[in-house]
Chain A
Amino acid sequence: MRRVAVVGAGMTLFRHRMLETGKEMAFEASRMALDQAGLDIKDVDSVVLGSAPDAFDGVHMKGEYLLDGAGGTRKPYTRVFVGGGTGVFVPIAAWWQVASGVADIVLVVGEEKMSPLLPHPQYAFWSIFDPILERPLGVTLLWIFSLEMRRYMHVYNVSEEDIALVAVKNKRNALDHPAAQLAANITVDDVLKSEPICWPVKRLDVSPTSDGAAAVVLASEDVARRITDDPVWITGVGWNVDSTYWTNRDLCYPEYLEKAANMAYRMAHISDPKKEIDFAEVYDPFDYKELHHMEGLQLARRGEAPKLTREGVTQRDGDLPINPSGGLLGVGNPIAAAGMMKIAEVFWQLRGEAGKRQVKKPVRRGLAQAWGDLMQVGTVVIMER
């Protein structure tokens, strides 16, 4: 297997509605990533695009629709899709190509344009429910998250206040992100008093729906050493998927994520992730999910993530900064682009290019993670200087 480096990253603003079409956003993020890498489209051997359900953009076969914006015309081009986990799965699919020697330079693009769908992007999820067992109940996705959040609170005796601290932290971190959609200085009380959507899930526990794109460029070691003094290496990748039946999963502990993480840790020769991972961008479409995912990643013991959060360990100046970017709660959640934003953030943090978002302690190794499909896929990428 060949070593694989990240050599450039780019992203658009994340906003509720962008004038740019999906193609235009894909182009802008890709152009920025190529510019940072000092490369042109003719240098790119292959393109991998990630985007979530076609129903958002409202253009069926979105991968094909986005082709020229992602620079894929007349190149080997693939769209990959594992729902919300897509953003961190796209670089994995691109990594295969470079690690195997199929390609030397791969452009990796995540795009989502959720705003077209009326009455609300959320309604795209109507169609994911089982027509026999679930649709007759008239539930939305939020009901599922409510089941998970309540179970998590129950098992570990976690308070709403502890969970709200995640939203407070991430939205504040996002104040330093130039692309952020929902950066804010809010209090725990603001979260608790926000409109209940499906208790215990309240408005400010939830990330927004967004339009946006993000891209990175992967290169083989030879190419990376030639074009940059500062490559960031992908040293571990992992993915895993659990049963699609809600009824057959542990709603309190994401076992599939533990398996995905262990796959990546083995590859990266990590035996004690809590000590060996310097910071992480974990998937936080809901505040409780950051806690959930920290535990699945074994960055905290089971039930310990709320305590670490309360003690400030996960702040940017803490011992284990989590979501220094501001995460999905603060920067926004254009699904596949949101996961790619996390990949870009780990890259920028490791290169010391995160500006006001730069975590305080020196960092050598970071992790990005996403979650999705039918709430049961885990995707993990580990990157190192």
Chain B
Amino acid sequence: MSLPDGLRNTSQAKNWVDSLPLSYKYSAGVSGQRFAEGLKQGKILGSKCSKCGETFLPPSLYCPNCFVYSSEYVEIPPYGEIYSFAEADGKAIALIRFQGVTGGLIHVVKRPSAGKLKIGLRVSAVFRPAEQRKGDLTDIEFFEIRPHT
């Protein structure tokens, strides 16, 4: 079997670099805008389905199960639980779930000064001072482990 020339001379392949300089301006969306406004006020907002009553975080315009409009936005207490987490480069990211809420938030968790991060630890959101909030996810600076109560 003999290979075509092109396959034998791959080191000769001419190539050049091109770039497509594009940037994006995304809409927050109907529910995304409410979520962002909530964060700016120091609140975590979820949405409630008008049919099954399930609460979703992040909030959604519609219930993905019943496929009907959400009836209202509800404030979710900023206390959750670590469902799982990832650690690298001195930083930890966790999926935080909230009682009675479908979904959750992925956010930075501040590592405890003593002991280790564990699944099941209870955490609470630490918001930036009001004047520093921009209406996005970073308005929550991090979640921290709640002291034993």
Interface string of A1-40 (1 = CB under 8 A from B): 0000000000000000111110110011011001000001
Whether a CB of chain B sits under 8 angstroms from the CB of A71 is yes
A355 within 8 A of B: no
Are A23 and B18 in contact (CB-based, < 8 A)?
no
> Is A313 engaged at the interface, CB distance under 8 Å to the other chain?
no
**CB-contact partner of B62 in A31, A55, A117, A124, under 8 A:** A31
Q: Counting CB contacts under 8 A, is B99 at the interface?
A: no
For window 43-63 of B, CB contacts with A under 8 Å fall at 60-62
Choose, from B28-36, B73-81, B87-95, B132-140, the stretch at the interface.
Answer: B28-36
Query: How far, in whole Å, are A211 and B64 apart by their CA atoms in the complex?
Result: 22
Task: Give the number of residues in A that approach B within 8 Å (Cβ atoms).
Answer: 33
Q: Is the interface of B mostly helix, strand, loop or mixed?
A: loop
Say yes or no: A116 contacts B24, CB within 8 Å: yes
Q: With A21-B32, A24-B31 in contact, do A31 and B68 touch (Cβ < 8 Å)?
A: yes
> How would residues 121 to 140 of chain A score, 1 for a CB under 8 Å from any chain B CB and 0 otherwise?
00110110001000100000
Is residue A113 within 8 Å, beta carbon to beta carbon, of the partner chain? yes
On B, residues with C-beta under 8 Å from A are: 18, 20, 22-33, 60-62, 64-69
Task: Point out the residues of chain A lying under 8 angstroms from B18, CB to CB.
Answer: 131, 135
Q: How far is the CA of A115 from the CA of B60 in the complex (A)?
A: 21
**Which residues of A lie under 8 Å from residue B68 when comparing CB positions?**
31
Docked CA distance A339–B136 (Å): 35
Chain A residues near B62 (CB-CB < 8 A) = 24, 27, 31, 69
A118 x B22 contact (CB < 8 A): yes
The A interface, classified by DSSP as helix, strand, loop or mixed, is: mixed
Smallest beta-carbon distance B25→chain A, Å = 6
Determine which residue in B20, B25, B61, B67 has the highest number of CB atoms from chain A within 10 A of its CB, and name it: B67
Measured between beta carbons, the chain A residues less than 8 angstroms from B61 are 20, 24, 27-28
CA distance A118 to B33 in the complex (A): 21
Q: What's the minimum C-beta distance from A133 to chain B, rounded to whole angstroms? A: 14
A–B Cβ pairs within 8 angstroms, 9 of them:
A19-B30, A20-B61, A21-B26, A21-B29, A21-B30, A24-B61, A30-B67, A69-B62, A117-B24
Contact of B22 among A23, A28, A55, A113 (CB under 8 A): A55
A123: chain B residues at CB < 8 Å are: 20, 22
Asked if residues B67 and A27 are in contact (CB atoms below 8 Å), the reply is yes
Can you name 15 extra interface pairs (CB under 8 A) apart from A24-B62, A31-B68, A55-B22?
A19-B33, A20-B27, A27-B67, A28-B61, A30-B67, A58-B24, A68-B60, A68-B64, A115-B25, A116-B25, A116-B27, A118-B23, A119-B23, A123-B22, A135-B18
In the complex, which residue of chain A has the Cβ closest to the Cβ of B32?
Answer: A21
Q: Does A100 reach chain B (CB closer than 8 Å)? A: no
Smallest CB separation, A210 vs chain B (Å): 13
Minimum CB–CB distance from B66 to chain A (whole Å) comes to 7
| List of 4 A-B pairs having minimum Cβ-Cβ separation, nearest first | A41-B67, A21-B29, A58-B24, A68-B64
Across-interface contacts of A135 in B (CB, < 8 A) = 18
* B23 partner residues in chain A, CB cutoff 8 A: 118-119
Contact B29–A19 (Cβ < 8 Å): yes
| Given A27-B61, A126-B20, A21-B27 contact (CB < 8 Å) | yes
B27's partner among A18, A71, A119, A127 (CB-CB below 8 A) is A18
Q: Which chain B residue shows the least CB distance to A59? A: B26
Bound-state Cα–Cα, A211 to B27, Å: 11
Q: Is the CB of B30 within 8 A of A58?
A: no
Does A73 reach chain B (CB closer than 8 Å)?
yes
Among residues of B, the one whose C-beta sits closest to the C-beta of A68 is: B64
What's the minimum C-beta distance from B134 to chain A, rounded to whole angstroms? 18
B27–A115 touching, CB < 8 Å: yes
Cβ contact within 8 Å between B26 and A116: yes
Which of A24, A31, A113 gathers the greatest number of chain B CB atoms within 10 Å? A24
Alpha-carbon gap, A309 to B28, bound state (A): 43
Question: Nearest-CB distance from A46 to chain B (Å)?
Answer: 14
Interface core residue of B27, B28, B66, B69 (most chain A CB under 10 Å): B27
Residues of A within 8 A of B31 (CB): 24
A248 to B62, CA, bound (A): 48
Contact check, A58 vs B26: say whether CB atoms are below 8 A apart.
yes
Given A55-B22, A117-B22, A118-B24: A73 and B29 within 8 A (CB)? no
Residue ID in chain B nearest A116 by CB atoms: B24
